Amino acid sequence: MTQTAVETQIKNGEKSDKDYSIEWFENICIIRYKGEMKDRKILRFVPFINTLGEIGVLVTACLSVIISYFSGIILLESVSDVWSTVLVSASIFCLFFYGIILFSYVKYVGITGCKNCHKVYAYEETKNPDIKEVSTEKSYKVTITRYWKCKYCGYIDRTESPENIGTNKGKRKKPREITCQKCGESGLCFEYKDPDIKFVEEVSIRIRYYRCEYCKNVNIEVEKTSASEGSNWESCGSDPRLQV
């Protein structure tokens, strides 16, 4: 079975300008869509990033978390009035949160070293990246293709990697009532294949596939949860771009 669909999704009540495509080759699902260029404002505060690259980001992230942790233990015990406690707590939290966010940039900065002039943190993105998700019976893989230009020598390059996205396969659950997105018929559907799970920072996203008994269309259902919610999965509809 081959099923191809290209359309513009509606998200958060507004039209998106990012088209996506879904292709089916028997039980292999390939989804392609445009991603976002990485916001690099947070990296302005990383010392020595232009000389150390990803090592500078990693060291800064580790120090931010460690310093905020021990500062919290020492300072909060010595502060007595309420306003000082609030101010110190806010400062410690901001430093800790900054370090946690930086960890997600380590791999990104690692691929910005120029292959031509060999300078670190040299690449700047020239357009939105292409994202490809390939799901088979036994595997699930996400590849992000980014397009670069070196700010020093002008070298043009592109890289392909999963960056900080982790993936694995899940287990099917009991059949459920599904209204087909293509023919509109409703009925009890079994999962067509094992679900896919991907991990993006603190968020887990699970993708399930249900095959309509009437028109054989494969309907995609998306669920997500965060580390703070534990196993409480929330339905996100059928947007196969799976943005969080």
**DSSP-assigned letter for residue 98:** H
> pLDDT class for 224, splitting at 50, 70, 90?
confident
**Residue linked to tokens 């031509």:** 116
Q: CA nearest 166: which of 87, 227, 117? A: 227
| Reported pTM | 0.76
Instruction: Please tell me the distance from the alpha carbon of residue 78 to that of residue 191, in angstroms, as a whole number.
Output: 57
Q: What are phi and psi of 217, to 5 degrees?
A: -65, 140
Q: Residue 237: pLDDT above 80?
A: no
Instruction: Please tell me the distance from the alpha carbon of residue 221 to that of residue 172, in angstroms, as a whole number.
Output: 13
Contact yes or no for 162/186 (Cβ under 8 A): no
Taking the domains of the chain in order of start, what are their residue ranges? 4-38+111-237, 41-104
Instruction: Please tell me the distance from the alpha carbon of residue 201 to that of residue 86, in angstroms, as a whole number.
Output: 28
| Amino acid (1-letter code) at residue 46 | V
CA angle 117, 121, 127 (to 5 degrees): 95
Q: Which of 14-18, 75-79, 142-146 is predicted least confidently?
A: 14-18
pLDDT tens track for 88-102? 778 888 999 999 999
